[in-house]
């Protein structure tokens, strides 16, 4: 998927782009059919919300689920990253499905992803970004992502390491800074049906609230990084901060449908 010059300008200005319903129902069905099995797995890559058994995130799924292995090479997700990051050699720094489960989904505090990538992984520069695909509807009630438009233009902001609020340690931004940034840029929460895609800059300040509704807000995230911007510290395990910098080899646009058609089925 090629972005227009106007879209590239909009990304540079606001730090994000939103494409409602970019994936078709049949494509999303291929992925969603895998989710119950993925979240039921008892393995280190599936982390639970603090104090509950509800899934929070499933990491590195592209290495242990064949449908998500295909998604990780999807041109509708990877090609915009190539264009916006200015290199055709990108690798997957992180790949995760966030469940934001019905009733139990907990907050993600205000943060920039590049703060964690810099502080924990020693990623040299913020030439990395997120591509998010909604696997379920994100609406005003179920904890949609919140962005402060234009906040990426402040560069990397001061952050503190929060290891207690949720089950996932995060470098978070203090309320006074968030108040100042929101005064300047406001808050947006892109909402839309499953199949929608949200691209955002590594320095975008973002957060999400808890989910008190019966509607899980599943989102899969590809965190793409330039191969020439690979991390230099390996304190986090490879399933959280990939130690494998192999460039992503994109598949064809119909890869998910083809995968579903061609995969071996259990004997009837």
Which residue of 206, 211, 239, 242 would you call a contact of ligand SIN, by CB under 6 A? 206
Identify what 171 binds: ligand SIN, Mn ion, none; CB under 5 to 8 Å per kind. none
- Residue among 97, 93, 90 at smallest CA distance from 132: 97
CB of 101 or CB of 145, closer to ligand SIN: 145
CB of 65 or CB of 216, closer to ligand SIN: 216
Name the minimum Å distance from CB 211 to ligand SIN: 9
CB of 88 or CB of 162, closer to Mn ion: 162
Phi, psi of 32, deg, nearest 5: -65, -25
- CA–CA distance, 8 with 15 (Å, rounded to integer): 10
Name the minimum Å distance from CB 208 to ligand SIN: 3
Which residue of 58, 70, 101, 145 would you call a contact of ligand SIN, by CB under 6 A? 145
Name the minimum Å distance from CB 252 to Mn ion: 30
Inter-CA distances, 203 with 71, 148, 173, 229, Å: 24, 11, 12, 15
Contact call for residues 101 and 107 (beta carbons, < 8 A): no
Which residue of 95, 108, 110, 147 would you call a contact of ligand SIN, by CB under 6 A? 108
Output Rg (C-alpha) for the chain, integer angstroms. Answer: 18
The contact set with Mn ion (CB under 5 A) reads: 113
Binding of ligand SIN by 219 (CB under 6 A): yes
Q: Sort residue 117 into left (φ over 0), alpha (ψ -120 to 50) or beta.
A: alpha
CB under 8 Å to 4, separation ≥6 — which residues?
Answer: none
Binding site for ligand SIN (CB under 6 A): 98, 100, 108, 145, 206, 208, 219
């Amino acid at each position: 998927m090629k972005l227009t010059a106007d879209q590239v300008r909009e990304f540079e200005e606001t730090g994000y782009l939103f494409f409602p319903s970019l994936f078709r129902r049949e494509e999303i069905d291929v992925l969603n059919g895998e989710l119950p099995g993925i979240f039921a797995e008892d393995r280190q890559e599936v982390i639970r919300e603090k104090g509950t058994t509800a899934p929070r995130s499933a990491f590195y799924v592209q290495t242990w689920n064949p449908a998500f292995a295909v998604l990780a090479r999807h041109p509708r997700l990877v090609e915009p990253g190539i264009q916006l990051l200015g290199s055709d050699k990108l690798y997957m720094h992180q790949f995760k499905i966030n469940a934001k489960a019905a009733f139990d989904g907990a907050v993600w505090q205000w943060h920039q992803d590049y703060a964690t990538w810099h502080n924990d992984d020693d990623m040299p520069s913020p030439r990395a970004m997120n591509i998010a695909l909604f696997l379920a509807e994100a609406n005003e009630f179920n904890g949609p992502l919140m962005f402060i438009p234009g906040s990426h233009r402040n560069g990397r902001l001061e952050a503190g390491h929060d290891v207690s609020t949720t089950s996932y340690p995060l470098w978070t931004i203090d309320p006074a800074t968030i108040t100042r940034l929101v005064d300047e840029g406001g808050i947006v929460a892109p909402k839309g049906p499953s199949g929608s895609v949200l691209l955002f800059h590594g320095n975008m300040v973002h957060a999400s609230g808890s989910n008190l509704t019966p509607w899980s807000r599943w989102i899969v995230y590809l965190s793409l990084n330039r191969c020439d911007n690979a991390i230099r510290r390996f304190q986090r395990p490879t399933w959280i901060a990939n130690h494998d910098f192999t460039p992503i080899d994109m598949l064809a646009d119909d890869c998910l449908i083809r995968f579903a058609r061609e995969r071996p089925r259990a004997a009837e």
